[in-house]
Amino acid sequence: MLDEGPDAQRCSKSRYRQTLHGISETLHRIGGQPELASHHRSLLVSARGNAMAATENYHQALPFLQTAASLVGQLDRRPISFEGAEWRDALLQNLDEFVDHAVVMIGEAELCLTQAKDPDPAAVRQSILDVQTAPATRT
């Protein structure tokens, strides 16, 4: 988890953004049968909230992961000596706390993302979606 580089971070951000985008796009297209449309709107609004919470939790976890990676770098640079043992123990304790916080936040983000995917925006009945047509072209 600490080795998560920029490419992996972009991939994770992209997953959250794609989920949020899909929900928002479908939400804007719901119309038609009022009772059924209202039900689907309600479900998708909840899913959108979960997707936004997932994104927020993930963003809040990143500084903890970056700080933990920095602490690991400090451990690698400083040789172990009797005088440094106390310093090293304190650094390891801090590292443990940062990783624990990040794990909790990422776990919450993953849970919210899973909840955001139910209902699947693609599963909304076509009969209640406004038909998106391409603009007419003049010849």
Q: Over the stretch 91-120, which tens digit does the pLDDT of each residue have?
A: 889 999 999 999 999 999 999 999 988 877
Q: Are the beta carbons of 43 and 119 closer than 8 angstroms?
A: yes
Overall pTM > 0.85: no
**Is the pLDDT reported for residue 2 higher than 50?**
no
Token duo for residue 38: 């209202």
- 22: in domain: yes
Higher pLDDT, 46 or 77: 46
Q: What is the pLDDT of residue 56?
A: 93
Token duo for residue 36: 């059924």
- 130: in domain: no
What is the residue type of 134?
A
- 132: in domain: no
- 71: in domain: yes
Helices 85-116 & 6-29 angle (0-180, nearest 10): 20
Q: Which domain holds residue 42?
A: 6-122
- 98: in domain: yes
Most trustworthy range by pLDDT among 29-43, 46-60, 119-133: 46-60
pLDDT > 70 fraction of the chain, expressed in percent and rounded? 78
**What's the rounded mean pLDDT across residues 13-36?**
79
Q: Are the beta carbons of 23 and 44 closer than 8 angstroms?
A: yes
Higher pLDDT, 34 or 97: 97
Structure confidence by residue, pLDDT tens digits, 49-78: 999 999 999 999 999 999 999 988 887 776
- 139: in domain: no
Higher pLDDT, 48 or 130: 48
Closest by CA position to 18, among listed 104, 111, 118, 113: 113
Residue 75 CA to residue 56 CA, distance in Å, equals: 30
- 33: in domain: yes
| Structural domain count, the chain | 1
- 127: in domain: no
